[in-house]
Structure 1
Amino acid sequence: MNATKPTVAQRVRKAKMLDTFYKMKQQGDGAGEPIRLPSFSVNSVKALSIEYFAIKSFVLNTLRLCSKLKSFLSNGLGKKCGRGWAAAQSGPLSFASGLTAKLALAAGFIFTFSAAAQTAAQLRALDQLNPANSGLAASGVEATTVPVSVPAGLAYDAVGNLYIAAMNDQVIRKVDLNGIITTVVGTGEQGFGGDGGAALSAQLDSPAGIAIDGSGNLYIADSHNHRIREVVNGVISTIAGTGTAGFSGDGAAATSAQLNLPTAVSVDASGNLYIADTNNQRIRKVVAGTITTVAGTGEQIYSGDGGPALLAGLDSPNGVAADTLVAGKFYIGDTHNQRVRQVDASGIISTLAGTGTKAFSGDGSSGVGAGLARPRGLAVDTSGRILIADSDNNRVRLLANGTIATIAGDGEQTFAGDTGLAIDAALDTPRTTAVSNSGLIALTDTNNQRVRGITLSGAIATLAGIAPSSTESLVLSGVTSTVYGSGSLTATFNYGSATATGTVTLLDGTTAAGTATFSSNTATFSLATLTAGQHTLTASYAGDTNNPAIVSGVYLVTVTPLAIVATANPVSILYGQPIPTLTGTLTGVLPADTANVTAVFATTATQGSQTGLYPITVSLTGSAAPNYSVSLVTGGQSGPDGVTIAPASSRTVLTTSNASPAYSVSTTLTATVTASTSGTATGTVQFLNGATVLGTSALNAGGVATLPVSTLPLGVNSVTAVYSGDTNLTTSTSASVTETVTPFALVATANPVSVLYGQPIPALTGTLTGVAQADAANVTAVFATTATQGARSGVYPITVTLTGSAAANYTVSLSGTPAVTIAAAGSRTVLASSNASIVFSTPITLTATVTSLTSGTPTGTVQFLNGTTVLGTVAVNAGGVATLVVSTLPIGVNALTAVYAGDTNFATSASTAIAETVGSSDFSFNLATGGNGTQTVTPGLSATFPFTVAPTLATFPQAVTFTVSGLPPGATYTLSPASIAAGAGSTAMTLTVQTSNLAGKLAPAPMPRRHGWPAVALGLLLLPFGTRRFRRLSRRFSRRGLMLVWMVFGLAAAGALSGCGAGGFFNQQQQSYNIVVTATSGSISHTASVTLTVQ
C-alpha cells in the first residue's frame, strides 16, 4: 500500500481488532478505462467497525443502511444517524482521495453499497480476526485479502478452482480462477448440523482433508464430527461415520460405520472414496456406499512391508491419495512412522519414502533412504508423481520415479519468499498439497494461515490468506520440559495499551488442553493434564469488546513420564510347582489416574525352572501408563528378593525287564525318578542287590536310568535303586523288586540328534515299521523331545506319538532309547601373569580367562599348575575369570598352566604354558668398613668384630641367621642382632667373643732362669706406697679395700716371679684363632673370617 494507508491510531479504538482486508478487484488497466466495482454486503452477528479508505476520489451511487446504527462518521460528510432503524439513504456520496470514512455498526445490520462505474477507487472493509463470528459474507473479494484460519485441506476441481478447508473457520472456501474467494460450505459455527439442507447453512467441526470427484462433488473429512460429508449441487449429507468416535462397520453401509478422527480423503477415477481413519490407524474405502478397511490392523506400530496391507501396522495416518494411473493403487502419509507408503493394486504394502526416523535428508536420492518429519497430506499429479507435505521439515517434497526432492520450503519455520523461487521460501508446518490438471501446485502454509501456490516455473505466491497483524501478539512462555502432572505456561497478550479480559484456550494441536483467565494481560495454564511426549501448543484468544481474537505461535513442550515405585511381594515355591500370580503395590500414581494405571508383575521363572532366585520385574498397563516410569522395590527393599524355587522331593520307581529271568540271562533294571511336583530328574541311580552294589547309571533326559544285569545269583533277589538327587530334587530310594530269574506292537525308530550346548534343536525324524499295508497311508509317527535350544547339556529322550485315522488300532514303542544329546560346548582358557620375571618369593597374580567357543559364559573352577605341581584352585567369576596370587615359585624358569575343570555346559580346557622366571635373592656379608679383623686379647677379656649384611634387593626376602665356628676353647660369643628378619634392609651386625680365664687351664710355658725378676716385681709392688697418689687413695678407701687391692697385685707379682718372659701373660703360650661367621638366608650362605689372638 502507499503512504496514505491509515495507522492503527487512526482506526476506531473501541471497535474489534480490524484485521481482515477486503480489497475490491479491479478490472481493466487502460487509461480512462472504466473500473467495475462489484457490490459488497456484510451480514453482521456482532458489533463491527467498517473502514473505507480511498486511494483515489470516488463516488458511491447508492448507500442503503438497514440497521441500528451507533454512528456514521465520514470525513467531510458530517453525517450522523440516530437510534432506531435508519431509512434508505441514497447517494451519490463522494470520497476524497486519501480520506477515510468509518462506520461503527451494532449487531443485526445489513449493509450494501455499489460504486460508480466510472470512478477508479479502492475500498477496504476491516473486520474481526475470525470472520465466522461476524457472519461475514463477501462477493467479489480477493482471496489474498481474507484470513484463512488453519488451512488444513486442499482440492482442485476439473476447471482449476481451488477449494480450501479452513479448519478453525469451520468452513470450506472456494478460490476461483480470478482469485475471488467465497464460502461454499459452513456457517462458521463449530458443531454438527445441516444434513439434507444447503451446505452454506451446515455446521462443521474442524474440517480437515477435502476431495473433489470428476462430477464436481465435494467430500469433506469432518474430523471432530468423525464423519465424511458430501456436497452435491449445494446440498450436504453424511456418507460415512455415525458421529461417534470408534471403529466398526466394515462390510456394511458406511453411514453405519464408526470413524475416529478422519483427517484426509481422496477419490479415484471410479468415484471410490479413500479415508485416512487416523485414530483407528487404518485406511478405509467406500465403494457404492459400503465401507471396508484396505490398510492397517488398528495397531499403532510400524510393520507389514512386503505383505498384505490389511496386516500392516500404521501410526496416525494423516494423508491418503489415490493413484492417477493405476486403478486400486493408493498412497498413505504414515505420519508418526515418518514414512510414505504405497499399497499396490494387489493389496501389498511397501515404503516409498522415509526411513522411520524423524529427520530431513535424502534429496536427490532414493525416497526410501530419505528422512521425513511427520509427512501428512499427499497429492498425485497426472503423471503419477507424488507430492508430500513434509510438515515438521517445513517443506513440500516431490517423489518421482523413486527419487525424492524438495520443491518448496528451505526448512525455516517462518514466512518468507513470496514471488521468489519456492525452494527458497519459508513455510510453517505445511499440512497438505493439491495439484491441478494443468500442473499448478497448491500447499497449505498452515501455521502462516495461508494457502500458497507454485507456478510451473517454480515461483511461489500466496493464493489465499493474509499475514496476521503485527500490532498485536499472543505469546506463550514457560517450561519447555516438565514431568507429567506438573508445569505451567504463561500466555501474554500485547495490543498497545489495551487490557485483555476473559479466557484464553490452550490448544494441544487442535484439541483444547485447558483454559485460563487473563489478569493484567497474562494468563497461566497448568500442564498437569498433558500426557507424556512432545506437545505442539498454541494459545487461542477469542477477543473481547476492545481486543481482537488472536492465536499464538507454536510452543513445543516435552512432558517426561512421572517416576513411580512398585513394590513386589516375594514368592517361594518348590521346583516344578506353577508360579503363582505375582502381586504387589504401586505408589506415586496421581489420584486422577488410579483407575487407569495398573502394575503387572512378572518373572522369568516358569513352572519347571531350576532352583534358584529369579528376579521380579514390573510393567505398567492402562490408558495412563505411558505417563509414568516405574522402578521396582521387591519385598519392601531393593534387595535380591524375587521368586525363590527350592528343591522338591523325588520318587524313585524300580522296574525290571524280566521278573523271572533264567540264570545268566540279562535283565534290565530301570529306575524312573520323578518329582513330587513336576520336572525331570538328573543325576545318577545306584542299583543294589541287598547291600551289594550292582552298578551305577546316569539318568537320561526323561529321568530314567537303566542297568543291564546278568550276575544275579539263583534264588530270590531283593533289588533296590537309590537316586543320588540333583540341584532340583532330593534323594530317594525305590521299593524293592523281586527278581526270581522268567508281548505285539508297532516299532518306531527315531534318529538320534547330537548338538552342542546353545545350538537349535533340528527337526526330529525317524521311521515306523510293522504297519499293515492297508493302513500305511493312515498312520504317521510324530517324534518329539523335551530338549529346546538353550537346554542344559545332557540326554533328552525322544518320544513318539501316532496320528492318522488308523492310529487307534496300534500301540507304538520306540526302538531303543533315542535321544537328543546336548553336549558340552568347547571352552578356551588363556593364562596371563602380572609379572613374567620376578625375584624369589615375590608375589605375582595369575589370571585365567575362560571363554565359550559358542555362546554363554563358563562357570566352575580353574586349577593353576607349575608343571604338575598344583598351585591352587579358584572359581571363575561371572565374567569367566579366575585369579590366583602366588609367591612360592622356586628359582628358575617355571612352566605355568591353567586348567579349566569344565561345567555342565562347557568342556574342560587347558591354557598354553607360560614361562615365569624366578631369580635368586643374594646378599653380601663382610667385615664392616674400617673394622679390625685381627685383634689380641688376654684371657678373660672380650673382642668385638663389626660386620655388614646387605641384601641385593632393597630388603631381605627371607630371614638371615648366623653361625660361628673356630672360637678359642671355653670362649663364648654374642651376635647383635642374633638374626635379621625378612623385609629388613642393610644391617650392621657385631660379633663379641668373650674369652675364658686361662689360668690353670692352659699348659704353663717353661720358666726362664733369671733371678732379677723377683726383686723387680717386689719393687713394683711396693712402689705405690711411697707416692702421694697412694696417700690420697688411702684416705678415700678403707683399709680393708686397700688390702684387697694389694693382695691382687701380690698374687700377680708372685705369678710373675714364678714364670719367665718368653710366654704370654702369666707365662702362658700365645695362640691365634681363625673365627668363621656364616650368614644364611634361604638357600644362600656367605662366610666372613676374623682372627683373634689370645696371649
Structure 2
Amino acid sequence: MNSSVGPASTCVFNDITQGTIAMPCAKGKPNCTTSNSAHQFGVLSGYSTTAGYDLATGLGSVNASNLVNKWSSVTQSLKQSITTFTALSPATVTHGQAVNVSVTVAPQSGSGAAPTGDVSLIGGPNNSNLGIDGFRLVNGAASGTTNLLPGGSYNVVAHYAGDGTYAASDSAPISVTVNKEASQVFPRLITFNPNTGALVNPNATTAVYGSPYLLRIDVTNSSGIVCSPNPIGESACPTGAINLTDNSATLDGMTFALNSYGYTEDQLIQLSGGSHNLQASYPGNSSFNSSTASDAVTITPAATTMTAPYTGGSITVGVPFSISVTVNSQGFGAAPGGTVQFLANGNPLSGSVSYSPVAGSPNSQPSLGASLSTTVSAPGSYTLTATYSGDTNYSGSTSPPTTVKAQFPAPAVLVAPSSFNVTAGTSLTLTATVMGSSKSLAPTGTVAFSGGTAGAISGTVSYATVTDANGNLDLQAKITFNPTVDDSFVAAYSGDSNYPSSQGSSANVTVTGNDFGLFATALTVTVIRGGQGGEQLQIGGQSNYAGTINFTSASCAGLPRESSCSFSPASVTGTGSTFVTISAAAPHAALMLHAATHHKWPATLGFLFAGFFLLPGIRGKKPVRILFTVAMITSLAVGLGCGGGGGGGGGGDPGTPQGSYNVTVTASSGSLTHTASFTLKIQ
C-alpha cells in the first residue's frame, strides 16, 4: 500500500510516496536555503519521499501487528546469489601476518547485473562466528589482505549481505590455522602538574611522593605497534588482563583488565618513597604469547615545612609547659611519619613527644602535629626550634625560631612592721622580703609600699640581699615614715628579668590618737566640659577617732569658674569614704538683653530725679539748660545699655575654662582640719 490510496487492513508497510523531511529554518543557519535574499526564513535541505524505499521514510510506516503475524509467510522476492571463497592463503600463518583474500559473488541464475555491497569474513576458534574483516564488492568481486584473523584453528566463510536485488549468501568454509605471535608489554609512569592537571611526562622515571601520576601498561604486537579497537586494516588488539607487582609484591590488587585499546591503567597508584621495580606480566591469549616487562621508578620524598614552636607566652622555671609545632606538606599521600625534636637554645628538651598525623585528601593536605610537655631549669631568654627527621615519603625540615622568656615563679613578698601599735607622731619601719628561688640569682628591682587608706607611702626605700633559711637569695626592702591613721600596709615588687612582679601580704598597724586623715585615691581627675568626673576620698582615723565630717560645695577650693563640686555621702562619721564629683559647664549662649534692660531703666529714672532735685542747688547756671544736659546724658547711657544688651544676646559664654587646676578639699571635724589635693583637668 502507499500513502496515495491509504493503508489496507492487510498492509505491513504503508509506503509514503508524498512529502519531504525538509523544514523551515532561519536564514543564515547551516544548510538553510532561501530563494529570495530578502526572506528571513528558508528551507532546510532534506530528502523527499518516493515510491518504495527512500531516505526520507525508509519503507514507510509499519503495522506492527501484521508484521509479527505474517513474519512466517514472507516469501523471497530477491534473486538468489552465489558467494565463492576463491582464496584465503596462506592457510597457516602467525597472528598479525597478512592473508590474501579473494571472494566473488554472482547471480545464481548465471545472468544479470553483478551483485553490489560488502562481503565479510566470519569465523573464529571454538566454532565462534566472529566478524573478522570486510571488503567492498567491485563488479561482483572483492580482494585484499587482512591481518585480523584471530589465533587458533577454525573455518572461515565469506558472507555476502545482499543488496536490493540479490539475497544474502555464504561461501563454503576454508580451514585456517593462526599461530600465536609474540606480544610486548610497556609499563610507564605518567606524571601531571598538581596545580593545572596538565601532562608533565608521559614516561617518567622519577616522581615526588604524593604528586599526581598514574601507571599505564600497553600490550602491543610483536612489532610494538599500539592497536586501535580492531578497525578494518589494523592489527587486532590483545585481550585479557595484566598482573602488576612492585618489588615482587602485589600492587593495588595485582590484576588489571585490558580495555578495547589493548592497555590498562592503575589510576589509584601511590608509591612510597624510594626505588621501585614495577613489573607487568601479560599471560597471553589465543592470539598472543605471554610477555613481561619492568619499569624502574624512583619516588623522591615530598618537601615539608614547619610552623614556629608555640608555647602560648612566657614560661616559668620548673613549671611544665606545652610546646607544639605542625609539619606540613602537599599532595594526597599518607600522613607523615618520623620524629620531631624540640630544642631550646640548640639543646634538646626532655620529655615524650606526642603526634597527631593527618593523611592527604581532597579536603586537607598531609600534616603531622607534634607537642611536648617539658620544663626549663633556669630563667632567661630561650630560642625554641624544632626539627623533623622525615621518613621515606617526606623530607626533613627545621622550624622557624620562637623566642620566649623564662622566669622564676612569682615570689612571695612578706611585709613586717617594726611595731603593730605606734603613737601618733612616732615613726614606723616596714620591712618587705621578696623571697627568691635561687641560691645564685637574687631578686632585683624595686619595692613600693602603700596603705589601704593612706595610699602610696613616700620616702626612701633601702635594699639589701639576704639569704633565707633554704639558702636562697632574697631581696629585703625597708622604709621608715610616720603613719597618721590606722592602716593596712602592703608591698608591691616590680619584678626583673628573672622574677615576675608580685604583690605582698598585708600588715595591720594601729596608730594611737584622736585625729583623722583625708586622702585622695587619684592624683588627677579629668572632666570634659558639659560633663562630670570625680574620685573617691578616703577618711582614715586613729584608734580613738569617732568624729563626723560634713562636706559641702564650699569644701572645694581652687575650682575654675562655672564649675562646682558635690559629695556622696555628704556626711561621714568615723572612718569611711566619700565620692567627690566635679561638674564643668559647656560653652553656651548668654541671653542677657531682657534682664539688662530691666536693670537699667531704674538707674535712668534715678539719674533724672537726681537732676531735678540737684538743680536748685546749682548756682550760676541756667536750670533748664542743665536739666536738658542731664536728660541727654541719661538717654545716651540708656541707649548704650540697650545696645550692650542686644550684643550679649548674639554672643556666648565659653563655659568652664579649659586647663589644669590644683583643687584642695578641706575636711573638718570639731577642731580638727585636714586637706587632700588633686589636679583637675578641664577638657
TM-score, L = length of structure 2:
0.28
Q: Select the structure of larger CA radius of gyration.
A: 2
> Looking at both structures, which has the greater relative contact order when contacts are Cα pairs under 8 Å and sequence separation is at least 6?
2
TM-score, normalised via structure 1 length: 0.19
